[in-house]
Amino acid sequence: MEKQRLVALADILGFKQTVLHTPVDVVVREYFEFFRKAIQHSFELAGWPAAPEDFAQLKARLGMGMEWFSDTLILYALDDADAAITNLLRGVTWLVFETMYFHAVRLRVGIDYGELHVDENAGQFVGKAIVCAHELERGQNWVGGALTTAACERLPASARFYTVEYPVPTKPGAPASTTALNWTQGVHLTFSVPFAPGRAEPDEHDDARVAEKWRNTRTFHDTVCATHRKKR
C-alpha cells in the first residue's frame, strides 16, 4: 500500500572489497554478526545483545520496516506518525555511530520522505522515497548520513535533535544536502577512528578517494562534536 513515509537507505562502505578478500564465513560470522547486534542495540538502547536476535522477530518487535540485502539496509517508518519518524531517525543515527568504530561495516546513509509502496509478501519495495534516499546516499563523500529537503521538512521537533545543519560533502553532480545526522552525540573520548585496521591515518599509497572520505568524516566530527569542540 502506498503511503508517505520516512525512508533511510544505508550502504556498508567498501563491502565489495571486503567480500572479495575475506572468506564468506568470516564475513557472516564476524562482520554481519556485529552488524546485527548493532542494529538491535541502536534501536533498543537496552544493553549490548549477547547474540543477534532472529531478524524477522526483531523487525516485528521494533515496529518498523527493515530489509537487508548484501551491503544495503533499507529502514522505513510503518506510518506517518511523529513517534515513528523520531524512532527511525534516532535508531539510524545511533547505528551510524556504533558502526563508525568498526572498519568493516561503516555506513553512509541517505534519508528521504515521500511515497513508498511496500508488499513484503511479493518482495516489492518501490517509490520515489527509495530512489531519492539512494541518490543522496551514494553521492555523499564521507562516512555518515544526510537528509533531503523533503525529509527535513517532515521532521517533528522530537526528531530534529538527531540532526545538525552542515554542508554535507558530496561528489561532483550529486544531490546537495545541508542537514546531516549528528552521530557525534554518542559517548566517545575522541575521534580515534582508524583509517584502516592497524593504521591511524592514510598514507600516499592509499586510495585517495577513500582517504578523502575519511578526512571529511574527521572534519565533521571536529566541527560539530559539542564535547570536543568545547575542549579545543
Per residue in 146-176, pLDDT (tens digit) is 999 999 999 999 999 999 999 999 999 999 9
Burial group, residue 15, by CB count within 10 angstroms (0-12, 13-18, 19+) = middle
Looking at residue 231, its pLDDT comes to 52
Is residue 199 pLDDT above 60, yes or no?
A: yes
Residues 48-65 have pLDDT tens digits of 999 989 988 988 888 889
> pLDDT at position 79, please?
92
Identify how many contiguous H helices and E strands the chain contains and give both numbers: 10, 8
Domain assignment of residue 230, yes or no: no
> What are the two backbone dihedrals, phi and then psi, of residue 82, each rounded to the nearest 5 degrees?
-60, -40
β-sheet bridge partners, residue 2? 117
**Would 132 be classed as within a structural domain?**
yes
pTM to 2 decimals? 0.93
Q: Is residue 209 part of a domain?
A: no
Grid cell locating 196: 584502516
* Mean pLDDT value across residues 33-48: 92
Question: Which position has the higher pLDDT, 186 or 157?
Answer: 157
User: In which domain, by residue range, is 72 found?
Assistant: 2-184
How many folded domains does the chain comprise?
1
What does the pLDDT average to over 94-119?
A: 92
Helix spans in the chain (H):
15-21, 24-26, 33-44, 55-62, 82-100, 128-139, 149-154, 157-160, 208-224, 226-231
- Check residue 49 and give its pLDDT: 93
- For residue 153, being part of any structural domain is answered with yes
Distance CA 207, CA 199 (A): 14
Is position 142 within any domain?
Answer: yes
Nearest CA-CA partner of 130 in 144, 151, 158: 151
Query: What is the arithmetic mean of pLDDT over 70-81?
Result: 93
Model confidence at 135: pLDDT above 90: yes
Residue 220 lies in a domain: no
CA distances from 110 to 160, 202, 230 (A): 16, 26, 29
DSSP secondary structure letters along 186-197: S--SS----SBT
Closest CA to 159 of 230, 80, 97: 80
Q: Are 118 and 65 in contact (CB under 8 A)?
A: yes
Q: What is the mean pLDDT of residues 103-125?
A: 89
Residue 4 confidence (pLDDT): 92
Residue 212 falls within a domain, yes or no?
Answer: no
Maximum mean pLDDT: which of 61-75, 110-124, 155-169: 155-169
Residue 102: the pLDDT is: 84
Contact 143, 219 (CB under 8 A): no
Chain centroid to CA 225 = 18
**Mean pLDDT value of segment 184-207:** 82
Residue 56 lies in a domain: yes
pLDDT value at residue 232: 46
Q: Which residue has the cell 540485502?
A: 69
Band of the pLDDT at 230, cuts 50, 70, 90?
A: low
> Quick one: pLDDT at residue 1?
54
Distance CA 28, CA 37 (A): 12
Of 121-130, 131-140, 154-163, which range is least confident?
121-130
**pLDDT tops 80 at residue 192:** no
- Domain of residue 104, CATH code: 3.30.70.1230
Output the CA–CA distances (angstroms, integers) from residue 208 to 109, 125, 138, 193, 198, in the order listed.
Answer: 21, 35, 17, 18, 18
Average pLDDT over residues 170-192: 90
